Copies of this chain bind each other. A is one copy, B any other.
Amino acid sequence: MAPAKKGILERLDAGEVVIGDGGFVFALEKRGYVKAGPWTPEAAVEHPEAVRQLHREFLRSGSNVMQTFTFYASDDKLENRGNKLSFTGAQINEAACDLAREVANEGDALVAGGVCQTPSYLSCKSETEVKAILKKQLDVFVRKDVDFLIAEYFEHVEEAVWAVEVLKETGKPVAACLCIGPDGDMHGVSPGECAVRLVKAGAQIVGVNCHFDPMTCVKAVKMMKEGVEKAGLKAHYMVQPLAYHTPDCSCQGFIDLPEFPFGLEPRILSRWDMHAYAREAYNTGIRFIGGCCGFEPYHIRAVAEELAPERGFLPEASEKHGNWGAGLEMHTKPWVRARARRDYWENLKPASGRPLCPSMSSPDGWGVTKGHSDLMQQSEATSKDQLKQLFDRSKSQ
């Protein structure tokens, strides 16, 4: 029998770097297994080989955490998003746990069960109702004995605190991430204050995920850290940003961008952008460093390669990747071989090849999402009338 792995808190307490995984929803959408719009994870049951393969690629790339592919897998969400399948939320959550565990066992990775914000909260359901929804998903994680829990992708710190309170009841380590930037949550609560509330609610690890590009997210976590320290509290920090450049985003992040979600290609970060991100996150004192939407396995590998000196080893997938482009020494063309050096890639300003496109966008200006009449969640697809109304509004801006 293999020796027990070190738990997430043991690792962080020891100062180790823990590398998260990347974005399942976006990666599997491009591979043909997730539908953009509903974004639900029924592929865990329908196409387990595809989910397993993606787990494996992240493991090979250096991930120490296999997050169960259970994003939006709460029953209220599955219903709301027009799920016509014969699978219950429980079935999906169970399958996702098994897949994560199977691959985690192939390497040095832990399994994290993840919950995220609920349509119930956005539709102004009560604390009790929201907690009941979260609890239901959690029951599977307990039964499947995941190694720790992550509450992530919360726009409102209030709901995130409720989630932490529910998760804490399991006795497992709890991480909590908001999908916010330096401007704070949807009601303007600052990152520092958000972090304090999450830590007080019992989260041992706090941070942000999704919605903004890496440097913006690191900045927000830095503000969290300063808030926690100022309050005399202690915590570990994590960051799992987008792999898209978002200099033009405000509070709702990339959701507001006109390119979301089907025209984001020109914003994808290169592996060299990831090196800079990993270094900045590390220097900021963040030790749980991963990714969210847009992160492909090679992005995670770049994070692991940047932090190889600190971790003491390269990820397995680096057998297929020369350091800072060194593999190009074997390229056929001599002028490409001349690019096998760090300063070349560090200083490159990559062109988009799109001379008719601007470099930045004017995002929609949405902010508060809870309680807004347009945001009351519904099971039906948006009707023609509703669409027309939204369209007219966007034109009049």
Q: Which of B57, B269, B326, B349 contacts A357 (CB 8 A)?
A: B349
Contacts of A147 in B (CB 8 A): none
Closest residue of chain B to A244 (Cβ to Cβ) is B353
Contacts of A330 in B (CB 8 A): 35, 37-38, 81-82, 381-382
Closest residue of chain B to A351 (Cβ to Cβ) is B361
Check A359/B351 contact, CB under 8 A, given A37-B327, A82-B330, A263-B345: yes
Closest residue of chain B to A390 (Cβ to Cβ) is B338
Question: A30 near B: Cβ within 8 Å?
Answer: yes
The answer to whether B36 and A351 have CB atoms under 8 Å apart is no
Q: Which of A31-85 contact B (CB under 8 A)?
A: 31-39, 49-50, 53, 56-57, 60-61, 81-82
The answer to whether B358 and A349 have CB atoms under 8 Å apart is yes
Q: How far apart sit A326 and B382, CA to CA, in the bound complex (Å)?
A: 10
The answer to whether A352 and B348 have CB atoms under 8 Å apart is no
Q: How far apart sit A328 and B50, CA to CA, in the bound complex (Å)?
A: 23
Question: A187 near B: Cβ within 8 Å?
Answer: no
Copies in the complex: 4
Q: Which of B30, B339, B356 contacts A349 (CB 8 A)?
A: B356
**Hey, what's the 0/1 contact readout for A355-397 against B, CB within 8 Å counting as 1?**
1111111101010010000110100011000110011011000
Question: A7 near B: Cβ within 8 Å?
Answer: no
Question: A247 near B: Cβ within 8 Å?
Answer: yes
Contacts of A61 in B (CB 8 A): 32
Question: A250 near B: Cβ within 8 Å?
Answer: no
Question: A298 near B: Cβ within 8 Å?
Answer: yes
Chain A interface residue bracket vs B:
35 or more
Question: A297 near B: Cβ within 8 Å?
Answer: yes
Question: A15 near B: Cβ within 8 Å?
Answer: no
Q: Is the interface of A mostly helix, strand, loop or mixed?
A: loop
Question: A301 near B: Cβ within 8 Å?
Answer: yes
Check A353/B60 contact, CB under 8 A, given A262-B272, A298-B32: no
Q: How far apart sit A56 and B393, CA to CA, in the bound complex (Å)?
A: 42
Shortest beta-carbon distance, A40 to chain B, in Å?
9
The answer to whether A248 and B355 have CB atoms under 8 Å apart is yes
Question: A133 near B: Cβ within 8 Å?
Answer: no
Q: Which of A299-340 contact B (CB under 8 A)?
A: 301, 316-317, 319-322, 325-340
Question: A202 near B: Cβ within 8 Å?
Answer: no
Question: A105 near B: Cβ within 8 Å?
Answer: no
Q: How far apart sit A335 and B34, CA to CA, in the bound complex (Å)?
A: 21
Contacts of A245 in B (CB 8 A): 352-354
Could you list 17 A-B pairs, sorted by A, with CB under 8 Å?
A: A29-B298, A32-B297, A32-B321, A38-B327, A245-B352, A262-B325, A267-B351, A333-B369, A334-B375, A334-B390, A335-B366, A352-B354, A353-B361, A355-B358, A355-B360, A358-B358, A359-B359
